[in-house]
Each structure stands twice: as C-alpha cells, then as structure tokens.
Amino acid sequence: MAEKFKLSIISPDRVFTEGEAEFLEFTSTEGELGIYAQHIPLTTILEPCVMKIHNEGEVKKAAILGGFVEILKDKITVLAEDAQWPDDIDVARAKAAKKRAEDRLTAKQEGTDMLRAEAALKRAIARINTVD
Ligand code: ATP
C-alpha cells in the first residue's frame, strides 16, 4: 500500500473535503501532475480540471475550477476557486456553458472578453469530464 498524505481541499465558502490520500492527479498551468507522499515541496497554479483522489483502491473525482495547490511531503492543500463533486454537477448546464463559450470564441466579436470565454470553456469541460 502506498504511503498516505493528508489532503485538504478548501473552496471560498467551505472545507470541500479533508482526509487522506495515496495519490493525487490534477492539471497545473505547467501540465498534468500526479503526486505521491514525500514529493518535494512545491506550490503550483491549478487549471480548471478533474482532480482524481486515489485512496485504498478507490478513485474519487472532483471538478476543481482553478486555484492553487501547496504540496508538502506529508500534506497537500488545495485552495480552489470552486469545487464540485460529480453529483452536484448539472451536465446539461455545463454543456450549454461550453457551447456558449465556444460560440463566443469562434465569433470573436468586438467587445467579447476572450479570456473570460476561454476560462468559462475550461470550467465547462472540467465539469463535463468530472461526470464522465
Ligand atoms: P454557467 O455559465 O452555467 O453559470 P460558469 O462556469 O460561468 O457556468 P461559474 O461562475 O463557474 O459558472 O459557477 C458559479 C456557480 O454556479 C458555481 O459555484 C456552481 O455552484 C454553479 N454551477 C455552475 N455550473 C454548474 C453546473 N454545470 N452544475 C451545477 N452547478 C453549477
């Protein structure tokens, strides 16, 4: 059995989850990361992504909609801009948000905030992939 580390995922309004894990997967601005206990200390910026929490043969998925991750040897703290479990995600809403963002990015109309549309697209994709 892999060594465990403590895991806290905190969103602006609550402690989303707190416990132990053996392996954590997520997407940082520098790419996909997979972290075990005893990783060198590191702080990184999160992309909206599916976070996969591995523990005792189970994998729990959560949509983490951006934020920061602080990695210490025996503890990982995620400060999430927003976080959702699959059961709390309305897939139809996420698909509609994805379509809206894609249409905005394709139309490139003057006055469209492209960064905002890109961020909305990433959030929608993260939500959809968390439920899949
Ligand atoms: P939308 O355009 O559908 O509002 P969004 O990405 O702009 O999507 P956010 O600003 O990221 O929405 O989210 C605001 C809040 O709305 C979230 O904290 C979450 O509670 C809720 N929310 C957004 N999308 C969904 C979804 N697909 N299913 C359930 N709740 C959602």
Average pLDDT, 10 consecutive residues per value, the chain (132 residues): 94 97 97 97 98 97 98 98 98 98 93 94 98 90
Look up tokens 């059961």; give the residue: 87
Name the 3-class secondary structure at 4: coil
Handedness of CA 68, 22, 88, 117 (dihedral sign): positive
> Do 128 and 49 meet the contact criterion of CB atoms below 8 Å apart?
no
pTM of the model: 0.94
Report the pLDDT value the prediction gives residue 130, as an integer from 0 to 100. 98
From 49, 50, 65, 84, the mutation candidate for ligand 1 (largest count of ligand atoms within 8 A of CB) is: 84
> Do 105 and 97 meet the contact criterion of CB atoms below 8 Å apart?
no
Distance 25 CA to ligand 1 centre (A): 22
Report the pLDDT value the prediction gives residue 15, as an integer from 0 to 100. 98
C-alpha 105/C-alpha 93 separation (Å) is 18
Report the pLDDT value the prediction gives residue 11, as an integer from 0 to 100. 97
